[in-house]
Amino acid sequence: MIRVLIVEDDPMVAEINKRYLESISGFVCIGVAANAMEAKAVLDKKMADLVLLDIFMPGESGLALLKEIRKEEKSIDVIVISAANDMHSIKTALRLGAVDYLIKPFEFERLNAALRMYQQEHELMRKQEELSQEDLDNWLLYQSRAKETRPELPKGLAQETLQRVVNLIFELGNEGFSTEELADKVGISRVSVRKYLKFLTDIGFVTATLTYRSVGRPVAHYRLCEMNKEKIVPYLKAPHR
């Protein structure tokens, strides 16, 4: 489990980031700090692998906190999430070893990519004490390709309609639904809804079970798969075919 501290002075943003982080398997939030002082108090008591760090905060800035973390040689990685888009802040953060930098406002697809990339790197470093040049080159090449590659929606699916379908499924939560019920709520035909549900089932976003009746064909009932709900994120901003 990757232990993460969120340092963010906006309570709403902090809560959104916390919920999103905890929706991704393999991550756990060990605390939320509203400023550098609170962050240092948490880090003194708890082990952290990663800090999601804002820069503009009351009192000591996020960059000053990052400098202290590096000065103390703590084995902690940092992803900066900030509205600071000036070159000085960005270069300073990167020179101090930030593994990624997200500029607010950002799409959650970007946060998902940053966390997934970090997860892959963390797992690689955990399993191997040493790397060959070939292993390192392959990893760096993988990082470069992963940042360039964006998944596309299957032919015939529209991003706007997919967003509506996904929003309704999130609203339903653990409540199961049929193709007909979802079609009525979205306002499109059952034939169209089946295409979207097939795609969502294929990527594991929803699960499908058949309900058998005394007469007629069995009816498919769908349900949001909580463990896989982050899998839809890259597709919501995917380019059309």
The candidate with the shortest Cα–Cα distance to 35, out of 11, 55, 13, 9, is 9
pLDDT digits (tens, 9 = 90+) for 17-60: 898 888 888 899 999 999 999 999 999 999 999 999 999 999 99
Q: Are residues 120 and 8 in the same domain?
A: yes
Q: Which range, of 31-45, 134-148, 178-192, averages the lowest pLDDT?
A: 134-148
Residue 110 lies in a domain: yes
Residue 154 lies in a domain: no
Q: Are residues 13 and 47 in the same domain?
A: yes
> In Å, how far from its chain's centre is CA 41?
26
Rg (CA), the chain: 21
Two structure tokens written together for 199: 């795609």
Q: Are residues 104 and 68 in the same domain?
A: yes
Q: CA 36 to CA 29: how far, in whole Å? A: 17
Q: What is the arithmetic mean of pLDDT over 143-169?
A: 77
Domain boundary among 148, 168, 185: 148
For residue 93, what are the domain limits?
2-148
Residue 18 lies in a domain: yes
Domain boundary among 90, 116, 148: 148
Q: Are residues 40 and 70 in the same domain?
A: yes
Map residue 130 onto helix, strand or coil: coil
- What's the domain count of the chain? 2
Q: Are residues 128 and 189 in the same domain?
A: no
Q: Are residues 103 and 190 in the same domain?
A: no
The residue whose two tokens read 């952290």 is 48
**Would the pTM count as exceeding 0.85?**
no
Two structure tokens written together for 56: 């503009």
